[in-house]
Amino acid sequence: MSPSVNIPRRLRRLATAWLCGGIAALIPAAQAADRPDVTIPRATSGDAVVEPDWSQRLTITVGPEHADLVGTSDRVLQAAVDYVARLGGGTVRVLPGTYRLRNAVYLQSKVRLLGSGEATVLIKEPSVTTKLAEDSDWYDQEITLEDANGFAVGDGVCLRAKNSDNGGKTVVKRTLVARVGNRFKLDRALRENFWKRSNATVSTLFPILSGENISDVVIQDLALDGNKAHNDNLDGNYAGCIFLQDCNRIAIRGVHARNYNGDGISWQVCHDVVVENCISENHTGLGLHPGSGSQRPVIRHCRVEGNDIGIYFCWGVKFGLAENNKLTGNRVGVSIGHRDTDNLVTGNDILQSRHVGVLFRDEKDKSFAGHRNRIENNRIIDSGSTNGVAIDVQGATEAVVLAGNEIIETRQPAERIAVRLGVDTKDILVRTNQITGFATAVKQLPPASR
């Protein structure tokens, strides 16, 4: 039998508090009224919440001439961003001109990238692709190319291969930093296997603007051209005219993103992203892609045209707003699916969608579906072909509101349906919509006969 230990009651209480809630459990929460307001803020080391509203921060100009930094490449843009970031933030003003990029411009926290509208064009140089001549393992920081023509130190590259374990796709983005012959050193280790037997290739593919693990950034008044006619495809999980990963509080305003062989603007696991007064058009992928896990995105006053999907709510996008946008000629206007819940799509014009205006995707089961979304006060006109559907609610989607929309078909009714509800949908509220020109206004699909 173990000897008994007499632990004082006070220590037992502290131990219990620690196990149940950690240090926070030992400290009583301060009431809001107990703490005085900060009336004279000061810059204090480590305090990222309270700081004076500085009237002036550093501005650096970049341009073909008469600028602080003169040039028209990604290198001069990157130098400006890095310099401003080193001084705690400020503005990089990109003067009118055409800037040709061989690598992404990597954004940094508290930096505003400000152009001159359509007069400031950042265009991606044509891509080249080759196979790897030698295997590279996950711990390697170099690759050997079969044909190094078109590759140079400083280039952004994308390595792709078939995963030897599960047959899936392995994709890694890196920068070439040193060279001897056909061998290139990378900025970071691969951390994935790229073997010849897995058809490993390397391509000069990258986003035009890229941000990872950054916050408090503004991208404004720029034209971004993906040059898709001369570039291979790289989808929006890795690239786009703008690609963001694990970021917070990003504002994208007045940006014209066009012609990317992939997505226009894509943000993955990014919170409080605002995209407004932008154009995203003629991409092979998605126009605007609030990506997996992104919370509280706001998309307003944008024109999204000629893409595969206009606005694509990816996995687990919640509490978002898409308001007063014009979505024209996309295959799908708005797509909502895997655990995308509690979003509001309102006041948009969704026009001439080639397949469907608004789609709730058919996910695996109820737990995966996009519940509690509201589609309200939109104008949805001329969706799909002769058997097209304006709003198609599929899968086991529940508790969706479709209200106050003008759902219009100006062509022949044919077999067109305004609202189609899938067999397993539940609690879909369809009310006060103005529906005209369809063969069928609302169709509830019956269970399949046995």
Query: Hunting for tokens 């990157």 — which residue is that?
Result: 78
- Give residue-wise pLDDT tens across range 318-363: 999 999 999 999 999 999 999 999 999 999 999 999 999 999 999 9
Q: Is residue 395 within 8 Å of 371, Cβ to Cβ?
A: no
pLDDT tier at 61, thresholds 50, 70, 90 = very high
Average pLDDT, the chain: 93
pLDDT tier at 32, thresholds 50, 70, 90 = low
pLDDT tier at 276, thresholds 50, 70, 90 = very high
pLDDT tier at 14, thresholds 50, 70, 90 = very low
- Please say if the pLDDT value at position 429 is more than 80: yes
- Give residue-wise pLDDT tens across range 225-263: 999 999 999 999 999 999 999 999 999 999 999 999 999
Q: Is residue 176 within 8 Å of 142, Cβ to Cβ?
A: no
pLDDT of residue 22: 46
CA–CA dist 85, 104 (Å, integer): 17
The residue ranking higher by pLDDT, 30 or 101, is 101
CA–CA dist 418, 225 (Å, integer): 36
Return the amino acid letter for 283. Answer: H
Q: Is residue 207 within 8 Å of 217, Cβ to Cβ?
A: no
pLDDT of residue 51: 86
pLDDT tier at 49, thresholds 50, 70, 90 = confident
> ∠ CA 166-167-171 to the nearest 5 degrees?
100
Give the list of residues 6+ apart from residue 301 with CB closer than 8 angstroms, or none.
Answer: 276, 277, 323, 324, 325
- Please say if the pLDDT value at position 24 is more than 60: no
pLDDT of residue 47: 87
pLDDT of residue 167: 75
pLDDT of residue 55: 81
pLDDT tier at 11, thresholds 50, 70, 90 = very low
- Give residue-wise pLDDT tens across range 122-153: 999 999 999 999 999 999 999 999 999 999 99
Q: Is residue 242 within 8 Å of 266, Cβ to Cβ?
A: yes
Q: And the tokens for 259?
A: 């012609």
Domains of the chain with bracketed CATH? 59-124+207-444 (2.160.20.10), 129-203 (2.40.30)
pLDDT, mean of residues 425-446: 97
The residue ranking higher by pLDDT, 22 or 344, is 344
pLDDT of residue 136: 97
pLDDT of residue 20: 44
Global pTM reads 0.91
pLDDT tier at 81, thresholds 50, 70, 90 = very high
Q: And the tokens for 421?
A: 């509800």
pLDDT of residue 28: 53
pLDDT of residue 19: 40
pLDDT tier at 44, thresholds 50, 70, 90 = very high
pLDDT, mean of residues 384-392: 97
pLDDT, mean of residues 41-49: 88
Calculate the alpha carbon distances from 371 to 311, 337, 367, 422 in Å: 17, 9, 9, 14
Q: And the tokens for 366?
A: 């109820």
- Give residue-wise pLDDT tens across range 158-174: 999 998 777 789 999 99
pLDDT, mean of residues 356-373: 96
Q: Is residue 329 within 8 Å of 299, Cβ to Cβ?
A: no
pLDDT of residue 4: 45
Radius of gyration of the chain from its Cα atoms, rounded to whole angstroms: 26
pLDDT of residue 3: 44
- Percentage of the chain beyond pLDDT 70 is 92
pLDDT tier at 405, thresholds 50, 70, 90 = very high
pLDDT of residue 273: 98
- Percentage of the chain beyond pLDDT 90 is 86
